Structure 1
């Protein structure tokens, strides 16, 4: 593993949801008619800063809405939660109330974070209301199709609803949990190798430690780890190949260092191969959906021509494969990644 800090200089633009993408979302039950939109939530009079437990600015704000709008907004958000979690069955929100609406001014999509609470037992959950961004939606779909993780989201024109992905933020885990004696460091290093491989195949960029979470599952004889992406803003936009390799971000150095300490070249290659086999299994299971997604994304402009040229040249050099130079879109690059995996796994 290597470390060579990568910087993303320019902010990625928001790409609107096209008619072909909307049709795809409808075909795979991702579209919905929502009673509250992202723009509705923007109609607040003022806001107050939200501090974290240490008294520092969390970069989230508490919006204050007009009194005559609060009830409609809260009721609409409960309907959205029912759509997201139970196909619109309102019985699941019968005893729930909206506890908090928080607005983030950091990041591309400026999300709203909604906390919903069950008044019978105080158990709470979160979900997010965001400005719909086509490249982010493609990232969510590729995560659903090619990774071992399921993602739950809905789209209504300019509004994107996302389920909360539970886990320990990667930066928090590296500082406070990484070296706990009961955790097997090799298992953590193995998971980072697999995550790194998956991001490059899917062209999921900017996976710095605060953009993924670590999920911990006790097993009968050990503890299992899984890294899950929680931010898909930088899906196949940048031209620098290193943006799609988490190992090159300085924020991930603790994971890189752990891998260098715990893994040999042989085991590193073994875990890469395991992830490729897992991706191949997903491709075989979801080949029709993947083909539909490819056909739609190949009709869209989701990055600059300069970025496509830079990336395909970087991929050609990285894999020593001149076939990448014939790619015309970012989708072509992903498709060639998958074809190469199919050839390699069959060998």
Structure 2
């Protein structure tokens, strides 16, 4: 299936509702910051950023007038302190803004900020984006339902996200996957099955290879690979169910073929059940926090009516759960999907889940 047919050409940004704003305030995601996304758009010029092979990265390095640069640098260092430290000014003298990069590719058009500690030359990144409710829901769901915690801040129309370290999926597949050993390829196949399942359960779409990273973790005498999503723009937006399954994107074909070569069908089902069970446990252990988030998203408008209608019908056909037919919003579909997973974890045996293929 071609990308044009699978994905909508443009996803609109959705505003933060009063209800979601209250949720963010309650859980310390809403914090006043000294700079807005629009402030960074005041750059005077830019130069193209190339990778080590001389290929255009689709990022441009922007520069500002001397007057603006001083103010912007100070504000960005303060944002770093709020995001990664106690928010005080004590560390500002030891920080330097090495680069401000702008990406015109994709929906969010983010700024990538490189901050360096001048005492030891260690550096890190964070991102400045326009606030989008669906992206915020995606970040919160990743924080609660994935193995990874996320640090982000929202203030009015500006979203600050921490950098997620790892090897971009497309780079890994092209340059590193062919060099992996047989055991490493088998472990990567397992991780892709679990990642595929996790995205489907929480309705995170558009996980093409450049929207996730591969994270190598050294464990005793071998390397274990993990897969992490890095782009949350397509949380609960598309109407096509396949968009929420990374296996259907042509950019992931090598990973899908790896699963076919390295894993037997029963193993694939086993790993799906493992991931479903883990997500169900996280839903239960998240308690009131995820309940409050779901209460926000159930009444929010984060998609188009035609997308809601199509997805609820496709999920009903896939699960045969009549509750999907009653859904009128993407949030209600998400709630029903999570409840379906939780209910199956609590009430259905492994054999029955395998037979249902969900």
TM-score by length of structure 1 reads 0.96
Q: CA deviation at 1:152?
A: 0.7
Aligned equivalents of 1:90 and 1:216: distance in 2? 35
| Aligned counterpart, 1:35 | 34
Q: CA deviation at 1:42?
A: 0.7
| Partner secondary structure for residue 177 of structure 1 | helix
Q: CA deviation at 1:52?
A: 2.3
| Aligned counterpart, 2:162 | 163
| Aligned counterpart, 1:229 | 229
Q: CA deviation at 1:100?
A: 0.4
Aligned equivalents of 1:198 and 1:165: distance in 2? 18
| Partner secondary structure for residue 151 of structure 1 | coil
| Aligned counterpart, 1:63 | 62
Alignment of 1:267-278 (within 5 A): 267-278=267-278
| Aligned counterpart, 1:257 | 257
| Partner secondary structure for residue 177 of structure 2 | coil
Q: CA deviation at 1:19?
A: 1.8
| Partner secondary structure for residue 91 of structure 1 | coil
Q: CA deviation at 1:227?
A: 0.7
Aligned equivalents of 1:92 and 1:255: distance in 2? 43
Q: CA deviation at 1:321?
A: 2.6
| C-alpha contact (below 8 Å) 2:298/2:335 kept by paired residues | no
Q: CA deviation at 1:307?
A: 0.4
Q: CA deviation at 1:153?
A: 0.4
Aligned equivalents of 1:229 and 1:164: distance in 2? 11
Aligned equivalents of 2:56 and 2:214: distance in 1? 24
Alignment of 1:84-99 (within 5 A): 84-99=83-98
Q: CA deviation at 1:221?
A: 4.2
Aligned equivalents of 1:17 and 1:345: distance in 2? 33
| Partner secondary structure for residue 184 of structure 1 | helix
| Partner secondary structure for residue 160 of structure 1 | strand
Q: Deviation per CA, 1:18-39, whole angstroms, max 9, x where unpaired?
A: 2221111000000111111101
| Aligned counterpart, 2:279 | 279
| Partner secondary structure for residue 75 of structure 2 | helix
| Partner secondary structure for residue 331 of structure 1 | helix
Q: CA deviation at 1:277?
A: 1.3
Q: CA deviation at 1:179?
A: 3.2
Q: Deviation per CA, 1:295-322, whole angstroms, max 9, x where unpaired?
A: 1112211111110010011111122333
Aligned equivalents of 2:171 and 2:76: distance in 1? 30
Q: Deviation per CA, 1:186-220, whole angstroms, max 9, x where unpaired?
A: 11111101111111111100000000001110112
Q: CA deviation at 1:89?
A: 3.5
| Partner secondary structure for residue 289 of structure 2 | helix
Q: CA deviation at 1:60?
A: 1.2
Aligned equivalents of 2:229 and 2:77: distance in 1? 26
Q: Which has the higher contact order (CA 8 A, sep 6+)?
A: 1
Alignment of 1:1-347 (within 5 A): 7-182=6-181, 184-346=184-346, 347=348
Equivalent residue pairs, number: 345
Q: CA deviation at 1:294?
A: 1.0
| C-alpha contact (below 8 Å) 2:214/2:226 kept by paired residues | yes
Aligned equivalents of 2:56 and 2:256: distance in 1? 29
Q: CA deviation at 1:10?
A: 2.1
| Partner secondary structure for residue 252 of structure 1 | helix
TM-score by length of structure 2 reads 0.93
In structure 1, the gaps of 5 or more residues are none
Aligned equivalents of 1:287 and 1:328: distance in 2? 24
Aligned equivalents of 1:90 and 1:186: distance in 2? 48
Q: Deviation per CA, 1:79-137, whole angstroms, max 9, x where unpaired?
A: 00011011314334431100001111111111100001111121111111111111100
Aligned equivalents of 2:7 and 2:30: distance in 1? 31
Aligned equivalents of 1:59 and 1:185: distance in 2? 30
Q: CA deviation at 1:53?
A: 2.2
